[in-house]
Structure 1
Amino acid sequence: MLRFLLAVAGCFLLSDGMAQSSLLKIKFYCQATEGSANAVLHDLATYSKINIEYAPSSLDSTLIISLPAGETSLGAALNRTLAGQKVSIIERNNKIIIVAAGSPLEAAEKYVLYGFVQLENSLEPLPFASIRETSTGTLCQSNVFGFYSISLPSGKHALQVSFTGSSSRIVTIDLDKNRNLNLALSPAMLPEAKVEAGNMLKRDAGIKLDRYQSGIYSNMLGGTDPVRAVYLLPGNMESQESGGKLLVRGGDPGESLFLLDGNQVFNPAHLLGEVSILANTSIKSVQQYKNDFPARLSGGISSVTEINTKDGNMERWSGEGEAGINSLSFTLEGPLKKNRTAIMLSSRQSLGDVANHDLLAYDAAFSDTHIKATHIFNRNNKLQLSAYVGTDRLHLSQDNPEYLQKWNNRLFTVNWNHISGTRSFVNTTLNVSNYDNYIGLMYNVPDEYNKGAVFNNYSSGTRYEAKTQVELTISPHLQSRFGGRFEHNNIHSYNTLITYYFVEDLDSFSSGKRTLGFSDIMVYYENEIRIGANFLIRPGVHFNACNYDNYSYHAWQPRFFSSYRINESQQINLSYTQIGQLLHLVTSPYPGMNREVWIPGSKLLKPEESKMLNIGYQYKSRSKLHLTTDIYYKETNNVTGFTQTSNILFNNDSIEKKIMTGKASGYGAELMVEKKYNKWKTIFSYTLSWSWRQFDSIYNGSKQPYRYDRRHNLNLLIQYQPIKKLELSVLWHFNTGDWITLPSSVSFNPDITTPTNTPFRGPETNRLNCNASYYFDTGKIRHRVTTGIHAVNQSAMKYSTEIITAENKSYDITTSPNQLFKYSWYLTYNISF
């Protein structure tokens, strides 16, 4: 009998305990409520119909609590209401008792919400989109592939999802387990509907541009060009001579790296830099790093620009086409199998020499084709294949008949995205990149000679790469990134043929071609640590090792970035970077001679190593004023250049003996201001900078201004929208002159060298561009007509060098501002569907 009574009592106690333990799991519909903890607890007791007892003195009544409307559990609601309070929750006699405690309430069980942020009706991943939990302010950002992972307590949550160029959206979710959820945003078609991120705490100092910022820059063909828009950023300049390359913070063109979907592009422009390598219709985002270099980056000690292209529309066929006076382009994308396999094809073609002849003062032709296929195996695995081919041919056939240049790029990429868990994302890539570069320089011969000499120079290279990157979101306050890379390069430095004509058949250079092959490996690791809501640090390390011609090199490169948000409008950031570059681009010291040689680091020419300190400040107000400023100082060892007396127009196997190494330093201040009014938008950027080089064999080893040393560089863009569908813009560039050095002459004999003339400061240059764009819709088709004038003011922005021979076959050299891009008018028509 006693055993029976004990069993009955035990069952009763057990059932009572189960009933009590289930109070926190009771589901109820919570009305939206906001107020002090006391007020919210009173509302929760009413909505859940559960008795909640507490002593008001045990709660901090100054905190304002906000709960969204929707079904939730009592435990989840209490945990959110009492988060951070020094209390504990007790269940007794079918009621909840809240008592004082010595430590804050333990957080509720947390789950992970993860997946991709995508564009509605296409499933296009959106990079750098923000996801914010509205009540707690917990924030995360999607990576470059659109993947996000955010850890939240169990219960009901309202998430605000936003992305530049899309409409912001609130997503409500009840989280009771880890969940894979793709978040979709609808595109914002009208400029005034665009959403911009607020003063988010900076995770890095990279500057982001995207194709949705229409009209920010129109190139000389009339097309919107977000890649070309990087020239508007402070610290970025364009070389004035005919090379037309990107110069960043006083560095040479070879110190700026361009990546197309993670694959290096050796010649990243058309028309000597005036047109980017890819049509705007296939570009998804552009990001440039120059103030700060995350640990994964290497290969460009001045800047790294990442161009990311669209995956292809997974749900329907769409496209864009553009026709202009000088070029035609189109992009077509759509599903081969809906929501599973998509393809994107983009192509652009100049209209030939005849169309360009009158407008550009020389014969020019270019083309590019980009194709990308994406296949989704399942929610956790996606494969992408992409290929790119771009070609250029430039022949100065009017004022300067002595110059011919041809170059091309060929790229192939295999990319695999893998979600390996709720908190981890892995991207693995195989890359092949190839380039060819031909330059022919014809000498002007006096009347007593009936033939001219042509220096025909040809170089090429192929790069093979395999790399993997891992992102691990450990908690809302800690994210780790690590990975590695193996790379092999085969570089064919210039072969030179001296003839009486241009040799455009590249097979003619096959004999005697020397291959410079080298391999390198890289590993990196970094942590992103959030300390509270307003402070972030990102320490990291990058390790690089290479081997070339019995020469081995390795280096540990520390990286550090931190940002602190002062208030809702202001924040500051600090970064320190050590970065190396294994491949030298040795550049002619003389303007107008596009004489560049790629050479790997060796015993004689050690890899470049740079150290940089950057301090930045940002102000972003609700009145649509955005101001950023940076000051920097950088030092670089093992910079290269041709020796003072070398014959730069001739190349042989002893090319390394013609190259010297030295030191470089640079410092400056950068300012960018963006102000928006109702119908007006103004962007102003200014750079004050100094760039120095020091070589033992030049000027007795004293420090001298570098070839691209410019004291002042200024850009001013003004946009006006008089009516809803019309945009007008004016863009003005101004910069002080380069530090120009000329050889006194160049001999026909490659073994004869000559001294250099005294350097001098070149003239100031400026350029004014005007643009007008009008769009209208007919059903689901959007039309855009763009017209404008390139180089209104006729100021010479480009110049070339002229070489004249004498009887002794020495070649006198002069420089004159031969304006390669004169006043030109453009008209384009764009259609998207």
Structure 2
Amino acid sequence: MPIFRLILALAGCFILSESAAQGSLLKTKFYCRATSGKTAAILRELSGYCGVPIEFSPSSLDTTKRHTLTAGRTSLGAVLDKVLAGQYVTVTERNNKIIIGKGSTPLPDGYLQEKYMLYGYIQQESGLEPLPFASITLLPNNRTIQSNVHGFYSLNLPAGKYVLLISFSGASSKTVAIDLQENTVMNLVLSPVLLPEVQVDAGNLPRRDAGVKLDRYKGGMYSNMLGETDPVRSMYLLPGNTESQESGGKLLVRGGDPGQSMFLLDGNPVFNPAHLLGEVSILGNTSIKSVLQYKNDFPSRFSGGLSSITAINTKEGNMEQWSGEAEAGFSSLAFAIEGPLKPQRTAMMVSARQSLGESVYHDIFTYDANFGDIHLKLTHLFNKHNKLMVSSYIGNDRLELTQDNSQYLHRWNNTLTTVNWNSIIGKRVFATTAINYSSYNNYMGIMYTPPFEGVIGGLSESASLNNYSSGRRYEGKTDIEITTNNHWQHFFGGRFEHTTIQPYRTLLNDDLKEDADDFSSRTALPFTDLMLYYETAISIGNRLLLRAGMHFNEYRHNDFHFQSYQPRFFASYMIDERQSLSLAYTHISQLLHMITSPYTGIDRELWIPANERLKPAENRMVNIGYEYKDHKSIHITADVYYKNLSNLAMFAGKTNILYSNDSIEKSIVTGTGWSYGAEAAIEKRYNKWKMLLSYTLSWSWRKSDSLNNGIKQPYRYDRRHNVNVLLGYQPLKGLEVSLLWHFHTGDFITLPALISFKPEETFNTNMGNVPFRGTIYNRMNLNASYRIPTKGRFKHSVASGVHAIMQSHEQYITTITTTSRNYTMPLYQEQLFRFNPYFTYKLSF
């Protein structure tokens, strides 16, 4: 395969160039004599005793400059770097000689000196937890780099003395003085702070990507309906992001459906990434180390999510002491504990949450709801260069709605296991190798009783319709990061996955059936995918960064074979120290189709792998971004984007969306789509006040020759306006109050061309497939958190608030029911959440 050969060739070039650099004449060691004089005289003297001939023409030098050399053992490059500083010259090696010629630009400072690698991890004190995306700034020139998602950093510097400023949100900044005379492994340690208010200054560093980092340390600003600080859920505050009331509160990004947004937990895909209809994240805040969302730009290592990729990385466990927390509220209990099994070598972290029972939610939901999850992670350090992490996650949900004539039941779970090996190879290479397992089980059942005697919609007596599906995913992958120098990095790797989607036939019965053994399986849908990628990032000066890459997929499903080359490009330019522009182009594909019903109701989706008729969905997107940040009190972002979507799978207009059998794929049609819009966000801090305002103006269209006579129509999740306002105020030390208001335009609702409870019978209606705009969505939450002043190891805090304070009846899902012999289809708005006060208490140690 061409791209695989290209990756091997590039890796070979890096190794050869490194080997060549080791034999450089500029690295020749000698004893320098103390002397002073003009440039030409000193160069002639050096050539006579340093052991390396030096050739130059006086006309190519400013020979009037005087220099003073001190005695001592050094390298030829270090001496020439001092003598030729600021000269318009070039320095080359040829025939075992140093040749100095005339140049068009000044010789950069440190260009000829021997360079060494300074590398290691940036860690948090009292636990040695790696800190992702921490900043290292060289003083006094303010050149800045960042650690990667695993906390690893690498600097390529000339020999000498330096002062480093290390910064991280949630930790006290620290300066470190070093004398770099050889390749050095150094772990840099920062002390955590309880109430971080200082924003991390990334210096004059162009952005390496357009990913949005969600700060888990900004506690109290956003809490979910259980009173938990929830950095994952706070994604819904970002422009372009919103939630789907009618798909279990799942994430919608830039007009896409829930299946186009992928969640990765330590790099492992999660099929159902939420609890309680999307109101609670799958993982508690205590276990989370970092959250990044990619929707403006997709680095080449990512695939599988046309709209967004959200990468959640969990903490590795405290290597030095035991710590933890317990939390109790009206509706759930949670705990987390971490500590060393063997100090400085092996650590563990475990967290768990459990709802308190269905009866608790009667005042919160119109549903009975239960959820629980547990997460375990073990980390072992073999040495400074090798680390092994093993983690597992299990999550379960069950919700039920009972009404006069119907009963709805939905149950789902996730299971994930991840084995991850981090390795520092040599002084320039960081490698991550992982083996992942992910699975889901999804059950949905509806039981309906006619409101009066007679035959309605083909139904004359109580009956139930039960759907069940499951999936299993196995994956092995490797990602490699090579630092050539401070201005040039390379990223490449590969992944192989085997996935099996196991659908089951719909079970028609007179009661709800939850046991998987009651269902008969349909033909399994297995597929494999081989992915390779290469990407390079180049900094040109201190203002411009270019990153270009290629993503390759080879996909097989039964007899269907698909190959795809997907170019990616990102550029970032700093206008000045506060403003920057970015441009991104992305071509990304998705192999699993989530077939989303255009009609109403909760969780009407099916997972189907791409096949010969339903090709992999593809997105070609352009994004232009602007950012202003004064590093003190204000942060402004703005983006415009255009997405061209192809090979989208959709339900046909006459498909019974609740009925699944071997021929259901024949009822699915393909089409194209477009999404475009503008996004803006402002974050402002003023004394004790904090404000976040985000706004999105967007359009989303779909078109299929088999639907609406081939005329394009608004997509179900075409929401013209989306607004979030978050205000925070800190009246006292440790006390923070926040108010959230969310508004978005209603979804487009499409009524089916027919309705029938019995799949073998059809009942045409006089209503077509023309969508119309639904009711607006409007919600306000109030939250307060207080850290109780205490001394000693144990810390106490409380949180209280009101979810849905406006008690708006516009928080709804819409359902259709045939209730008369005329087969009319009135719409019913079922309120999801009621006015909900909450209170939680947390104990930390």
TM-score by length of 1: 0.88
Matching residue's letter, 1:430: I
Q: Within 2, Cα distance between the matches of 1:542 and 1:775?
A: 47
Q: Within 2, Cα distance between the matches of 1:169 and 1:347?
A: 34
Contact 1:211 1:226 in 2 (8 A): yes
466, 469, 474: which one aligns with 2:476 = 466
Contact 1:714 1:735 in 2 (8 A): yes
Deviation at 1:215, TM superposition (A): 2.1
Q: Deviations over 1:296-315 (max 9, x none)?
A: 00000100000000000000
Q: Within 2, Cα distance between the matches of 1:476 and 1:578?
A: 28
Matching residue's letter, 1:330: F
1:656 paired residue number:
665
Q: Deviations over 1:100-147 (max 9, x none)?
A: 986637431110000111001101011111112113433321111111
Matching residue's letter, 2:813: S
Q: Within 2, Cα distance between the matches of 1:633 and 1:475?
A: 35
Matching residue's letter, 1:782: K
Deviation at 1:243, TM superposition (A): 2.1
1:104 paired residue number:
107
2:360 partner SS: helix
2:805 paired residue number:
792
Change (3 A) 1:806 1:763: closer
Change (3 A) 1:83 1:588: farther
Contact 1:73 1:155 in 2 (8 A): no
Q: Are 1:261 and 2:266 counterparts?
A: yes
Change (3 A) 1:427 1:20: closer
2:354 paired residue number:
349
Contact 1:395 1:401 in 2 (8 A): no
1:57-206 aligned at under 5 Å gives the runs 58=65, 84-86=85-87, 104=107, 106-192=111-197, 195-198=200-203, 200-206=205-211
Q: Within 1, Cα distance between the matches of 2:122 and 2:318?
A: 14
1:761 paired residue number:
773
Q: Deviations over 1:655-684 (max 9, x none)?
A: 110111000001000000000001000000
Q: Deviations over 1:620-656 (max 9, x none)?
A: 1155111000000010101111100111111100111
- Between 1:358-367 and 1:262-271, the stretch displaced more is 358-367
Q: Within 2, Cα distance between the matches of 1:644 and 1:59?
A: 85
2:361 partner SS: helix
Contact 1:446 1:805 in 2 (8 A): no
Q: Within 2, Cα distance between the matches of 1:163 and 1:157?
A: 20
Q: Are 1:286 and 2:286 counterparts?
A: no
Q: Deviations over 1:163-190 (max 9, x none)?
A: 1111111111100000011011111111
2:731 partner SS: coil
1:37 paired residue number:
none
1:768 partner SS: strand
Contact 2:31 2:73 in 1 (8 A): no
Q: Are 1:824 and 2:813 counterparts?
A: no
Q: Are 1:475 and 2:485 counterparts?
A: yes
722, 740, 752: which one aligns with 1:731 = 740
Deviation at 1:453, TM superposition (A): 1.8
Q: Within 2, Cα distance between the matches of 1:205 and 1:419?
A: 26
Contact 1:647 1:752 in 2 (8 A): no
2:234 partner SS: helix
Q: Within 1, Cα distance between the matches of 2:30 and 2:412?
A: 78
Change (3 A) 1:171 1:757: same
Deviation at 1:193, TM superposition (A): 5.2
Change (3 A) 1:21 1:626: same
2:575 paired residue number:
566
Q: Within 1, Cα distance between the matches of 2:678 and 2:84?
A: 44
Q: Within 2, Cα distance between the matches of 1:539 and 1:345?
A: 39
2:493 partner SS: strand
Q: Within 2, Cα distance between the matches of 1:192 and 1:323?
A: 27
2:506 partner SS: strand
Q: Within 2, Cα distance between the matches of 1:806 and 1:772?
A: 45
Q: Within 1, Cα distance between the matches of 2:260 and 2:407?
A: 29
TM-score by length of 2: 0.87
1:439-458 aligned at under 5 Å gives the runs 439-448=444-453, 451-458=461-468
Q: Which runs of 5+ in 2 are unaligned?
A: 1-27, 36-60, 90-99, 455-459
Q: Deviations over 1:542-561 (max 9, x none)?
A: 00011112000010000000
Q: Within 2, Cα distance between the matches of 1:19 and 1:481?
A: 38
32, 38, 48: which one aligns with 1:21 = 32
Change (3 A) 1:76 1:100: closer
2:688 paired residue number:
679
2:718 paired residue number:
709
Change (3 A) 1:361 1:803: same
Contact 1:299 1:581 in 2 (8 A): yes
Matching residue's letter, 1:383: L
1:38 paired residue number:
none
**Aligned residue-pair number:** 767
2:640 partner SS: strand
1:484 paired residue number:
494
2:539 paired residue number:
530
Q: Within 1, Cα distance between the matches of 2:355 and 2:815?
A: 28
1:504-653 aligned at under 5 Å gives the runs 504-509=514-519, 511-653=520-662
Matching residue's letter, 1:457: N
1:388 paired residue number:
393
Contact 2:306 2:619 in 1 (8 A): yes
1:231 paired residue number:
236
Contact 1:424 1:471 in 2 (8 A): yes
Q: Within 1, Cα distance between the matches of 2:582 and 2:445?
A: 47
Contact 1:241 1:798 in 2 (8 A): no
Deviation at 1:593, TM superposition (A): 3.9
Q: Within 2, Cα distance between the matches of 1:79 and 1:737?
A: 69
Deviation at 1:367, TM superposition (A): 0.2
2:791 paired residue number:
778
Matching residue's letter, 2:601: G
2:286 partner SS: helix
Change (3 A) 1:79 1:564: farther
Q: Within 1, Cα distance between the matches of 2:73 and 2:298?
A: 44
Q: Deviations over 1:247-303 (max 9, x none)?
A: 000001110000000000000000010000001110011000000000000000100
Q: Within 2, Cα distance between the matches of 1:360 and 1:385?
A: 37
Q: Within 2, Cα distance between the matches of 1:732 and 1:289?
A: 24
Q: Percent identity?
A: 55
Matching residue's letter, 1:657: K
1:700 partner SS: helix
1:375-454 aligned at under 5 Å gives the runs 375-397=380-402, 402-448=407-453, 451-454=461-464
Change (3 A) 1:283 1:19: closer
Deviation at 1:73, TM superposition (A): 8.4
2:218 partner SS: coil
Change (3 A) 1:494 1:157: same
- Between 1:573-582 and 1:140-149, the stretch displaced more is 140-149
- Between 1:487-496 and 1:284-293, the stretch displaced more is 487-496
Contact 1:641 1:660 in 2 (8 A): yes
Matching residue's letter, 1:676: R
Deviation at 1:423, TM superposition (A): 0.7
Q: For the aligned residues, what is the CA RMSD? A: 2.6
Deviation at 1:800, TM superposition (A): 3.2
Contact 1:167 1:193 in 2 (8 A): no
Q: Which runs of 5+ in 1 are unaligned?
A: 1-16, 25-53, 61-70, 89-98
1:39 paired residue number:
none
Q: Within 2, Cα distance between the matches of 1:530 and 1:359?
A: 52
2:368 paired residue number:
363
667, 688, 706: which one aligns with 2:676 = 667
1:191 partner SS: coil
Q: Within 2, Cα distance between the matches of 1:708 and 1:198?
A: 39
Matching residue's letter, 2:87: K
Contact 1:802 1:813 in 2 (8 A): no
Contact 1:130 1:140 in 2 (8 A): yes
Matching residue's letter, 1:772: A
Deviation at 1:758, TM superposition (A): 3.6
Contact 1:461 1:492 in 2 (8 A): yes
